[in-house]
Amino acid sequence: MPRELLERDIGILKKLAPECGDLTCSGSGHQFHSILPPVSNHFAVDDRDFARRIGRLTDEELRYIIDLIRSGEESLGCLPEEDLDSLLALITERFSPEETRKVIEAFASFGVCER
């Protein structure tokens, strides 16, 4: 479900992709509606770069993103498999395998690509 990014979302997006000057998807011309897909698809040069970028998140920021994923507000459907794997590994490392399982379940329910 498309959403308008809040100031908090924009702050996290700019932390992960400081080079992000415009909040518009170059492919669709629409505003970004999520945090992680733009980082993955527009700014990270590869899966290692994506993993490095999301590693900058504080536990509080990662928890916020997890909560958005679980509510269906943060889309993961556009993430390449390697980037999704990096995110899940980070969640397991910082929180727990149970938390990762809950994110996977939410992804299975809401996993559509909305740009």
What's the CA gap between 73 and 66, in Å, rounded? 10
Q: What confidence score (pLDDT) does residue 30 get?
A: 58
pLDDT 10s digits, 67-77: 999 998 998 88
Domain spans in the chain, listed from the N-terminal domain onward: 7-110
The list of the chain residues with pLDDT below 70 reads 1-2, 24-30, 111-115
Longest alpha-carbon distance in the chain: 37
pLDDT 10s digits, 42-64: 899 999 999 999 999 999 999 99
Asked if residues 108 and 73 have their Cβ atoms less than 8 Å apart, the reply is no
Q: What confidence score (pLDDT) does residue 1 get?
A: 46
